[in-house]
Amino acid sequence: MANDFDVLLISDEVQSGMGITGKMWAYQHLGDNPDIICFGKKVQVCGIICTDRIDDVDNVFKVLSRINSTWGGNLTDMVRSKKLMEIIEDEKLVQNAESAGAYLLQRLRDLEESYPTIVSNVRGKGLMCAFDLA
C-alpha cells in the first residue's frame, strides 16, 4: 500500500526488533518490506536501516544535521552492538525466542482458560506477549 501512495514504509522495531518475536524483525511476520527500519534498545545503540528509496526523499541525509543523534557514532557503542549481535546469532537467541515464546503463550492461554474473568485477550509473537487483566 505504501508503494501505491508513493510513501516510505517505516517499521518501528525499537521494542520488537532483534529477535524477541521469534524473527529478527517483527515486520517479517507480516511479509512487508519496509523502506526504513528503526531499531534500538536491545543492541545498546539506536539507528535506522534504509533501502535506496531514501535517496528519493529531498534533504534527508544530504543536509548536515538533518537526521542525527546526540551520542550517535560512538565507537564503544558500535563495538558493544557488534558483540551483542554475534551473541544473538551464536547462541541462537532468535530461535529460542520463538520456541520459548510458544511455550509462554500456551501457558498464558491456559491461565486465560482457567481464569477467564481475570485473564483475557492473550496474544503475542515469540517472547513479546501480552494479556489483559480484569
**Intra-chain end-to-end CA distance of the chain, in Å:** 37
pLDDT given for residue 28 in this prediction: 97
In angstroms, the CA 116 to CA 111 distance is 8
What pLDDT shows up at residue 68?
59
**Is the model's pLDDT at 18 over the cut of 80?**
yes
Report field, pTM of the whole predicted structure over 0.85: no
Tell me: the pLDDT tens digits for 82-117?
999 999 999 999 999 999 999 999 999 999 999 999
Question: Three cell numbers at 68?
Answer: 542525527
Set out the domains of the chain in order of their start, with CATH numbers.
1-91 (3.40.640.10), 92-134 (no CATH)
Residues whose CB falls within 8 Å of the CB of residue 79, separated by 6 or more in sequence, listed in order: none
Report the pLDDT value the prediction gives residue 72, as an integer from 0 to 100.
64
Cell numbers placing 96 = 529460542
**Strands 36-39, 10-12: pairing kind:** parallel
Separation between Cα atoms, residue 72 and residue 70, nearest integer Å? 6
Residue 27: pLDDT above 70?
yes
The whole-number pLDDT of residue 134 equals: 93
CA 104 from chain centre, in angstroms, equals: 19
Res 7 pLDDT > 70: yes
What pLDDT score was predicted for residue 125? 98
Query: pLDDT digits over 40-62, tens only?
Result: 888 888 888 999 888 777 766 66
